[in-house]
Structure 1
């Protein structure tokens, strides 16, 4: 929730924007959209290798 300060200064989120103070100046930016990106082929390979390693590690201790 945003806070109103003297002379119309606002800090915090209001609607789809974030208001803040930087070096004495009032700034505003748009709230970032959350995106779930798809994994690259390299990331998929590493994930598969890590899964295989974790399964092998668990079986070693059993």
Structure 2
């Protein structure tokens, strides 16, 4: 996926509700793609699999 990058620190994906380790591929997506009632201007970090899923649904 274009725009994904390795995580510098361990984190948590709010979409699939799982932890990702250091060096896992993550990406920024708009909050409203993950949560329909979210704010349009805010970006959140999600794991690469979730980023692929939510951006494909919008196309």
- Please give the range of the TM-score, normalised by the shorter of the 2 chains: under 0.3
The structure number with the bigger radius of gyration is 1
Compute the TM-score of the two structures, normalised by the length of structure 2. 0.24
Which is bigger in relative contact order (C-alpha 8 A, separation at least 6)? 2
**TM-score normalised by structure 1 residue count:** 0.23
Indicate the structure with greater helix content: 1
